[in-house]
Amino acid sequence: MPPIPRPDEPEGLEIVPSEAAELPPVVEEPEVLPYKISFASYKPEECEIDGMRKSNAAVALKIVRDIGTNYRGPKSSPSRFIDDVKKIVGTGDYQRICNGLAEEIEVQEIKFTRERRKEPENSVDLRIFFYTVDTERTFYVLAIRQSHYNLDH
């Protein structure tokens, strides 16, 4: 067994280079990071956020918050405020939400409804239209609405 070195005897000791003493940076796997939210494709002419009922606006904000902190891809459930998510087809009034987007973009609709019969002013009925680009890990908000599109024309 080699002798234990003493502080006053530095000779013969191997100095560890400072690069070896540093830990490598922790790199998160992309799957654990939430998606970024982008309004780059936002359609203000289709959005009803201005003038939205207070109950709808509060839930819409909570859903966007939850998406920004919890959405990690198509199989994740970003918010307890979401009743349904479905793909939409660009027919009827849905054409307006899809106009100007590349054909390969899959537009989806988040639906949330809660009826309060005793307090109808506090009922919630809203839709958030969006698409995602998984390679960019980005959630693109197109519009937030409290009225329904007419699909008959």
The domain segmentation of the chain, as residue ranges, is 34-145
Total-model pTM: 0.74
Short-list 147, 149, 128, CA closest to 139? 128
Can you tell me the distance from the alpha carbon of 123 to that of 115, in angstroms, rounded to the nearest whole number?
5
Can you tell me the distance from the alpha carbon of 138 to that of 68, in angstroms, rounded to the nearest whole number?
10
Under 8 Å between Cβ of 129 and 147: no
The larger pLDDT score, comparing residue 13 to residue 43, is at 43
In the chain, the N- to C-terminal Cα span, in Å, equals 89
Q: pLDDT class for 28, splitting at 50, 70, 90? A: low
Tokens 């939850």 sit at which residue?
66
Can you tell me the distance from the alpha carbon of 36 to that of 38, in angstroms, rounded to the nearest whole number?
6
pLDDT tens digits along 45-79: 999 988 888 888 988 898 888 888 888 877 777 67
- Which H/E stretch holds residue 109? strand 108-114
The mean per-residue pLDDT over the stretch 95-118 comes to 88
Under 8 Å between Cβ of 48 and 147: yes
pLDDT at 125: 84
Residue 119, CB-side half-sphere exposure with 13 Å CA sphere: 6
Short-list 39, 100, 35, 42, CA closest to 68? 35
Tokens 């966007």 sit at which residue?
64
Q: Is the pLDDT of residue 152 over 60?
A: no
pLDDT at 78: 67
